[in-house]
Chains A and B, each alone.
Chain A
């Protein structure tokens, strides 16, 4: 294997950053980015699931039969999502309530299954760990970036702290559903302008 673990890690931050380069996992990115806090929380939860499932699947890759591999991957992922769900319920209950349905829905986040199928099932443990960490951090970065744009413009706050002062009229379009789509579309456009690698 020519690529080192460091390369696997850094590719998730720029060359294959989700969801801009890999157009996967759009639902949570649209839904939870109303505030920066939610965005970061969701990013961390997804990163945890990605890393753990990548490691376990990479360890089990020679044992899992080819034909039922998707089902096996899903069980592994669902297990870790349940772990995240219970941990968040215990230690971050307000955030758990805010993210609501989107915590169990990490199971069906295409990025997690996509990385398991495309990477962890074929590579060693260290490389898979680096890949999971890189993609996870990249995802968290994208979530945060979008959340910053939407919260600052749509609510006039950043992490619940007002930025523009009292005269600012919030651009409510941004925190609603249509704003999420348009904002993500424009960010994708900017990413494309910055150049394909």
Chain B
């Protein structure tokens, strides 16, 4: 049990996927201008990431490793993720059209969100068991959501500030992300 708690803390804070592992930065800067879309994106990533983590683990153990096809890992993982995202997109369009409209272009972009693919690969590399994979995927996704929502909150305030012209938008966003990353740095060495 302690193992799992340590794993959760490590994945959410210490190895935060966005701020420590540099994965998933495109949506991080893209959808963080408004709190609403940030929350939507975080939810979508949590949902997709847990499912993708589980399915890619099964694919890896029972298909790729069983038949010695490890070199097809990249190809098969991205196909699993792409079809999953398609499914989530159809589901959201039917059931929550408001959120679907809000997420706009960034929902299909979860496919090319390196956080999703990255976590699936990390799970395999760390040789997690199935439950560990589920827990780790979920915690990584929560860490992603946490960082995204925090960042969106800061960015909403920045809009009100007078930022020098060359620094506006993405540039100040990145510097802010650096400060946020520095804050997360304090967790280093905890686990």
Q: Interface code A3-39, partner B: CB below 8 Å = 1, 0 otherwise?
A: 0000000000000000000011111001100000000
Residues of B near A186 (CB, < 8 A) are 171, 175
Q: Interface code B161-182, partner A: CB below 8 Å = 1, 0 otherwise?
A: 0000111101111111111011
Q: Interface code A170-197, partner B: CB below 8 Å = 1, 0 otherwise?
A: 0000001111111111101110110000
Provided the pairs A70-B82, A107-B117, A109-B112 are in contact, do residues A101 and B125 lie with their beta carbons within 8 angstroms?
yes
Q: Interface code B94-133, partner A: CB below 8 Å = 1, 0 otherwise?
A: 0000000000000011011110111001100100000000
Flag the segment in B5-13, B57-65, B66-74 that touches A: B66-74
B181 & A177 in contact (Cβ 8 Å cutoff): yes
Bound complex: CA A107 to CA B121 (Å):
12
CB pairs A–B below 8 angstroms (14 shown): A27-B24, A27-B25, A71-B79, A71-B82, A78-B78, A104-B74, A105-B23, A107-B78, A182-B179, A184-B174, A188-B170, A188-B174, A189-B166, A189-B167
Mark A residues whose CB is within 8 Å of B: 23-27, 30-31, 70-71, 74-75, 78-79, 81-82, 85-86, 101, 104-105, 107-110, 113, 176-186, 188-190, 192-193
Provided the pairs A70-B82, A189-B167, A192-B171 are in contact, do residues A25 and B26 lie with their beta carbons within 8 angstroms?
yes
Bound complex: CA A25 to CA B27 (Å):
10
Q: Interface code B34-78, partner A: CB below 8 Å = 1, 0 otherwise?
A: 000000000000000000000000000000000000011111011
Mark B residues whose CB is within 8 Å of A: 19-26, 29, 71-75, 77-79, 82-83, 108-109, 111-114, 116-118, 121-122, 125, 165-168, 170-179, 181-182, 185
Residues of B near A184 (CB, < 8 A) are 174
A178 & B185 in contact (Cβ 8 Å cutoff): yes
Bound complex: CA A180 to CA B179 (Å):
11
B174 & A182 in contact (Cβ 8 Å cutoff): yes
Residues of B near A101 (CB, < 8 A) are 118, 121-122, 125
A107 & B185 in contact (Cβ 8 Å cutoff): no
Provided the pairs A24-B26, A105-B117 are in contact, do residues A189 and B171 lie with their beta carbons within 8 angstroms?
yes
Bound complex: CA A13 to CA B82 (Å):
31
B29 & A23 in contact (Cβ 8 Å cutoff): yes
Bound complex: CA A109 to CA B111 (Å):
10
